[in-house]
């Protein structure tokens, strides 16, 4: 019975939890809060069960199974963070901002590669560099997502305080100091994880590169991730040199950078499934790719030329040219 759980099961639970979060803007009650939390827990349990059976079917941990599974792990981490905050601070409206991001990640998996990763073996998955690479990247992405959400909440709360609407019924938010601190530490923690994930990813690309795949330094996926890492590096340096007077400026920078990073990586995963980025290690297709076909076609040109010359020469009379 549990093996029949689908993405729709926990996606529907998260949608209901989000609608109940929105309803709290009209007024709060203990019953509605418990029902909302119950739907969140139900979705989280179904989410966990789905990842477990996917792992059993693929013979790989979810982080290494496919892009579909990896993105679901990212959404799973954000749901866990949401449930923890709701349990500790049930009056705060974290779910209004966190759940939409979860819904985006879960919905995006529909367009991502769901095939098991044939380039990772079960033995290596247990203690290999692949697991380290996937783990630090998913936690880095989770930190980036939390930085984005806390930044959006900071700007909304800042505006509410300036316009004196901070007492809006049902929409209690953390203080500006708490939101700024969350935004700051999420990036400070996420950037080193991104750095380690990038380093291990480039190393793995070199080790995994073959005659049928694009070399690591020319892999469009790797090039894009390096560019995104550089963008986060700018935010990281700005955070370390930040003074209190520049908090709002840094928050804006964080929102723009983190939002761009999240959308770009989701887009890359979708493009690799549609073979717009063929022949790379991240496409999970090391054979029979368009890149290989083009390379073989180019290599066949000199061979074809020599075959035509030999054929023409065989028709000439012995000892000289024909009249």
Assess if residue 313 is contained within a domain: no
What is the structure's pLDDT at 207?
67
Assess if residue 304 is contained within a domain: no
Nearest one of 9, 116, 70, 87 to 268, comparing CA atoms: 70
What is the structure's pLDDT at 273?
66
pTM passes above 0.85: no
Which residue reads 């894009």 in tokens? 224
What is the structure's pLDDT at 297?
43
Assess if residue 307 is contained within a domain: no
Domain of residue 26, residue span: 2-287
H or E segment at 232? Answer: helix 220-240
* Length of the chain (residues): 323
Assess if residue 6 is contained within a domain: yes
Average pLDDT per consecutive 10 residues, the chain (323 residues; last block may be shorter):
85 94 77 88 95 88 87 95 90 89 93 74 59 90 93 89 64 86 90 89 68 55 80 83 68 87 83 54 46 42 48 51 44
What is the structure's pLDDT at 226?
82
Assess if residue 13 is contained within a domain: yes
Give the span between the Cα atoms of 203 and 186, in whole angstroms. Answer: 26
Which residues does 186 contact at the CB level (< 8 Å), separation at least 6? 143, 144, 146, 147, 150
What is the structure's pLDDT at 124?
53
Give the span between the Cα atoms of 204 and 198, in whole angstroms. Answer: 10
Tally of domains within the chain:
1
Nearest one of 36, 40, 107 to 71, comparing CA atoms: 107
What is the structure's pLDDT at 199?
86
Nearest 5°: CA angle at 253, between 251 and 254?
Answer: 65
Assess if residue 309 is contained within a domain: no
């Amino acid at each position: 019975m549990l093996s029949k759980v689908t993405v729709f099961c926990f996606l529907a639970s998260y949608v209901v939890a989000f609608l109940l979060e929105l309803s709290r803007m009209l007024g709060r009650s203990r019953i509605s809060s418990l029902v909302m939390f119950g739907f969140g827990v139900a979705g989280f349990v179904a989410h966990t069960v789905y990842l477990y059976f996917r792992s059993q079917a693929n013979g790989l941990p979810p982080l290494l199974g496919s892009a579909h599974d990896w993105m679901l792990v990212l959404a799973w981490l954000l749901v866990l963070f949401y449930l923890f905050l709701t349990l500790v601070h049930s009056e705060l409206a974290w779910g209004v901002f966190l759940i939409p991001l979860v819904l985006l990640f879960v919905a995006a998996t529909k367009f991502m590669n769901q095939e098991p990763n044939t380039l990772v073996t079960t033995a290596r998955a247990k203690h290999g560099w692949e697991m380290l690479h996937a783990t630090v990247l998913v936690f880095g992405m989770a930190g980036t997502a939390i930085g984005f959400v806390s930044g959006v909440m900071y700007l909304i709360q800042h505006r509410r305080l300036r316009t004196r609407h901070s007492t809006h019924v049902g929409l209690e938010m953390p203080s500006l100091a708490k939101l700024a601190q969350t935004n700051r530490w999420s990036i400070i923690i996420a950037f080193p994880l991104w750095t380690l994930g990038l380093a291990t990813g480039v190393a793995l690309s070199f080790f995994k590169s073959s005659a049928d795949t694009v070399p690591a330094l020319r892999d469009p996926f790797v090039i894009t991730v390096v560019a995104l890492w550089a963008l986060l590096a700018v935010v990281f340096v700005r955070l370390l040199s930040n003074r209190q007077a520049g908090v709002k400026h840094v928050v804006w920078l964080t929102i723009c950078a983190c939002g761009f990073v999240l959308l770009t990586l989701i887009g890359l995963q979708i493009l690799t499934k549609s073979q717009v980025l063929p022949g790379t290690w991240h496409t999970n297709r090391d054979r029979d790719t368009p890149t290989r076909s083009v390379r073989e076609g180019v290599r066949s040109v000199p061979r074809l030329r020599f075959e035509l010359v030999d054929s023409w020469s065989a028709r000439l009379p012995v000892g000289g040219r024909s009249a």
